[in-house]
Structure 1
Amino acid sequence: MSDFQQFVADVDTRLSAMSKGELYVAGDAFDRDSLWLTFLESFPAGTNLRFRERTEYDCSTCRGFIKNFGAVVEIDNDRVRSLWSGVAAADPVFSVVAAAMDEFVGTLPLSDLFRSTEAQYGARTTRSLRDGQVEVWHHLHGRVAKQHRTRDVGAARGAFDAAVQVFQRGLNELTPDALDTVADLIDDNALYRGTEHLRAVTEFRYLRNQWTQAADQRAFVFAYAMNPAARFRNTVIGTLVQDLSAGVGLEQAVRSFESKVAPQNYRRPQALITPAMVKAAMKTIDELGLEESLQRRFARLSDVSVTNVLWVDNDTQSRMKDGLEGLLMQAATTGSSGARLRDAKPEEVPVVTFMKDILPGAATIDLWVANRHEPHFVSLTTGEHPAAPRLFTWDNDFAWSYGGNVTDSIKERVKRAGGNVTGKLRVSLSWFNHDDLDLHVFEPDGAHIWYKDKRNKLDVDMNAGGRFTREPVENVTWTGTVPDGEYRIEVNQFNKRESTQVGFVIETESNGRIEHYSHERAVGHKQTVEVGRMTVANEVITAFRPGEDMKAGSAGQELWGITTEQFVPVSTVMYSPNYFDDNEVGHRHYFFMLKGCRNDRPARGIYNEFLRGDLQPHRKVFEVLGDRTKCEPSEDQLSGLGFSSTVRNSVVAKVTTTGGRRRLISIQF
């Protein structure tokens, strides 16, 4: 066997060994010509004198082999090794050639996966006739292993390139801290269906750790690009890690994740914290001596100084902190006598005017508590230990807790579903089961607004597709011009699925006024119910004629110990605690504490938005503390209705002045 034959055999053996694993390509098409020239020029001087006369080394067969196989590499222990790096030729001449080829390929970057449509490159031998004699020529050659052959090279390389990009982005963008946080959440069983994704998190975290230690990180990416864990970034659990890595808050990131994997009616049972968060927060709590401050309860009349209320009922004032002495320190006011209250439309009064001009002369106040006020039920809370350090940004230990999360209003449902509730006129439909009801509104000119012609007004249409909820809504809102005239409203049962929790409610809103119309019976399949006809003038609803089966208004219900849709006596009127004494922190709330109003459920005493600045870094832990250290119901609590100064609203009050005059006032917030 000639020296060249031995070299050919050595190269073929090396290629066969490499082909048992995955093969890759270094460089690009422009590097193939340079590779061929490197092969020709690597022969030591005087050792290839015949190569221009014979086709032993520079033939088209060898050239085809080198251009197709010459830049093929394997990745062994995260290191790139070329076809030539394992060739140790017996003849020193070919050892020099192999070394030169290995060195050149080593300068080329990894570029792609090796795939081919051919079964072989090069031929073992060819024959030619010279001077009547048959000459046999030996060539570089090699077979393409079956696993490296494909009919569509472009598709195979495209899929590999995409996998490399996903893996590389995951390694670059997903941080160790985010991976550790998600792993902790899964270990603590604090992530919905998290255990299903534990293996994926663990495997990707392992790969990322190995990548950081790899001598050739590009080679590592190529070697593991087709590993299922390499696609972690594009999985649902990967999006959670990606959000956390990008700085999205833990609660928001987890809500986004759980919205993808949870059923629509799933609600997170608890806030999210990790052991590291707990340790850091407890260190701060201990350093600041705040352990006693975390113990909260409902506030009582005796906790509140009379100087911190704007008005107090005569039966209540003696039970308040500072009692009559504090009350006497305030300026006395008297009111003039007035006529007997007649059944008349309430006079609209801005809240600032009510507080300044009407409240000081009131002897009694009764508030009309409507069903729509349910989200405004509020309780005052305070600390168990008055001497403990304060938690909040204002200079007292009082806080407040709204109870509107017990049952969301239709308006809140629409907002949560992504509907617009800030237009000039709104008509919303709400129902209570998996049926597919459709809202139809006919404008004065005959224009028909429904799911097939939304006219940029219908923006929520629920239970129509594959996902169902028991809190469905549909919503039509006019943000532009609202035509004057008569509107006809209908509800059609497109698909009846259930016979429980039947009926529906229509909510209308214009000029800040909300009205309800209910249908208490089941709506048959394909049945249409005429809700009613409403008259609009100057973009305001001036009249509504309910349909035959519709009931105007809502029946009173028992809430917090009182009955809604009637007048309830007020015991005290006050600002929210962030405006007690000389505090003016954030926006102001107006509290009307009601006689007999009692929150019968535990209420939060700590909210993150109340916390003072040095506690904000631990807000996730305080979110859990607030949820797990709630104020237990008490008989003598201060509860009633609260209204924010920043949200448009109204409430009707029946005021009797100290002079006996009675007035019906719609307080405008």
Structure 2
Amino acid sequence: MIKGFDSYTVDFTYYIQLINKQFTNVIEKGRPLFKTNADDLFEAFLLEIPNEYRQRYTCSACKKFVEDYGNIVTLSEDGKVEAALWGDFDGLMAPAFRRLKELVEKADIVDVFITSKEILGVPCAGGFNHMHINVPDKIRYTGKINTDMQMMFEKREDFRMLKQYIEEYPYDVAVDANNILNSEHLYRFEKCLGISNWYMNLHKKLQFNKKYSDNILWHAVATAPPGYCHIKNTMIGTLLDDIKFGLDFDTIANRFAKKMNPLQYQRPQTNPTRGNIEQGEKIVEKLGIKKSFSRRYARLDELNTIWEYNDFSETTGKGFFGHIKIKNVNKTNKSVDIPVTKITWKKFEKRVLTNASKIEFLVPKHGNFTALLTATHQEAPPIFQWDNLEKRNPFSWYVYTNGSPCTRWNLKNDYCNVTGICYQPSMWYGEYPHQGKSIFILLDSAKDVNGTQSNCLFPEMLINDLREIRKTIEAYSKEATLEGVNEASACGYRLDYGREWNVSFRVTTSTGVYNYILDRWD
């Protein structure tokens, strides 16, 4: 570059601003970034500059920037390419930048672009301004386990595998699998519904846009939730294999149920190796999550509830006995016994909860009793998929496989006051469909009397960074204990999406007392 403020130097500063504006506009569209195989870009750039100015712009810093980052593009969902840095600029140097745009948009994608850098290129050196871009925080890679280059390698492998699986499990097989899961006849089907929908929709895009098939796959790789590209190694892969091999529905359902057993699904079946334990030590240290493994029972006042019981009992407020609650005589206009109403959860939530002053739940002798848990140390870093630093949500839960007796939970087979109702924690602040859906009916005085012999760090709930050490975490969890059992006030009954419930509620409103049977979600 040349010093001074002649028209061409000022013009080039203007183009640096345009490059950053183009990059910002691409980022604001929310599209992922990719590397192409376009090369020799700086030479192509110089060839479009008039001969008399070419030597002035033969700059090593700018050359390195163009060769390292000039081939970055972005993709739409349908696979159309747009240069991330170069646009239809105007002015004296517009032909040079248009040439770069043309070359990178014609090239093939070879990588997902991931960077941990705040700035790409060198803004200023030797008194000259050079091509560079500022990387917004929202797209910078901040992982502590792998480097950005390692993550790019993983994405490259995901692309290779996904392309293989698209051929191995064609569209009709994907549709059959999706239809079976959506029929809700398979045990714990909700765990696979998210990835099944994703895979079938990907097949649909490829069916209607074969011209950009590789680009569509790259976009899928860059935007897929963790593990979605590993079709063969998931339960959806087992289902796809069974369909492909022509097994009948009963056989498919039985095989699926066996593998989805909570004691088997994503649960290591052998003790961790010495190497896995040592790797676990390193990962825990890198992530700074040692305190995150300490768990306790949650309290009702900590939860994101959709309904809570408010005790409106009066007191006299006077004298020595002024704090004692007066017997509440329910004043209603009800004069006729109303039969039990069978209702879905969605209708119950919309029509009943808003007017309910009191709710009672008929506790079954044996069933899906549950406890909500949280971090002992609230400042501990996130380890659950639905928890993050921007919106903390360190809550989790446990139920016993095949249920447990009500007596274990300090309850009896009778109506019990409901203290609160909430959705499962993974539904509070975002969408995590592979975690399923459920409602927690929190019950007065309910708690796991004997406590569980684990602190319930289940692999299917944890962040992807911990996947490779799940055997070590499982072994640790089995020996760890939960704190705060005496203070627990967030225990009760779990109603899972996709199952028939037929559970009874008694609801008090300003107009009377009504009986309901909730039979299913919707």
Q: State TM-score, norm by structure 2.
A: 0.42
Structure holding more strand per residue: 1
Q: State TM-score, norm by structure 1.
A: 0.33
Structure holding more helix per residue: 2
Larger radius of gyration: 1
